[in-house]
A and B are shown apart, each in its own frame.
Chain A
Amino acid sequence: MSVFEISILVSAVLMILAGCFCIARSHHLLRILIGIEIAMKAVTLLIIFAGYVNGNDAQAEAYAVTAICLEVVMMVTAAGIAINLYRTYGSMDIRNLKKLKG
């Protein structure tokens, strides 16, 4: 493997690690969303890299664009939930989600 390929793979793995660390260590909903976003970026990078390696750029690009769109839908919905959580409980602590009913 070349230095270039190793750097992309290592970067993607480290981004997933940072995202998982953020998700695991925080109870703040927006911080958890940031962690998910970071991990999703790493996955998108890996999809593009897979296309670059096997020469099928267009297919990888189609998957990456789909992943980006799904990421945005997820973020918008989660941000709406976060805002409603704050309006209901006055904090972004996800432990308050256990109290939600209905």
Chain B
Amino acid sequence: MTSQMIICIVCLAVILVCVAAAVMMRSTFKSAIALAVASALLGVVMYLLGSKWAALFEISVCSGFVTVIFISAVTMTSESREEQDEIYGQEEHTKLLPVLMIVAGIAIIAVVLLSKFRLPYPAPAPVRNDFAREFWTGHKDLLLALLTALLAGTFAVVVLFKEEENKK
């Protein structure tokens, strides 16, 4: 096992802790911070797996931009602790999550080891390792979908803010 793999496994362990913390914490602000840390570490894992552009996007967009959106939303919609207890307090039993994750993790490892499961390694295909060429020319349907989604998102944001202006 190389040092990169060990770093990767450590990062994955910390990601799982951060994810559990993000789900369990009562403060949405702290949950957003935990999610940002998990995102940043996931970017490190992606980089170690050889996907540099995906890692760049994960760290800059998911860990940065999405966290800013979350924190803005939390700040603009701050509910007091009493209100949260009144509305959601009886419903969230998130203390079960770590137990559930540990049991599920042990069960998956046991199944994989006992069944001697192997990943279906395919025959090596003609690989194009140039991300830019693959992204811009290899999958025009993906680009079209991405462009449509970006336009839809922009339209949604414009509509939502327009409604707010009308209310004022």
Interaction A to B: yes
Residue contacts A-B, CB under 8 angstroms, 26 given = A8-B8, A8-B12, A10-B108, A11-B12, A11-B15, A18-B97, A31-B23, A31-B28, A33-B70, A44-B42, A44-B54, A51-B51, A53-B121, A55-B127, A60-B51, A61-B53, A62-B131, A62-B134, A71-B66, A75-B69, A77-B160, A79-B73, A82-B73, A83-B160, A91-B79, A93-B87
Residues of B within 8 A of A (CB-CB), count: 88
Residues of A within 8 A of B (CB-CB), count: 72
Given A34-B23, A52-B49, A45 and B42 contact (CB-CB distance below 8 Å) = yes
- A13–B88 alpha-carbon span in the complex (Å): 27
| Interface residues of B, dominant DSSP | helix
User: What mask results when residues 76 to 98 of chain A are scored 1 for a CB within 8 Å of chain B, else 0?
Assistant: 11011111101100011100000
- A78–B79 alpha-carbon span in the complex (Å): 18
Q: Are A30 and B73 in contact (CB under 8 A)?
A: yes
Residues of B within 8 A of A3 (CB): 1, 9
| Interface residues of A, dominant DSSP | helix
- What is the minimal beta-carbon distance from A70 to any residue of chain B, in angstroms? 5
Residues of A within 8 A of B117 (CB): 1
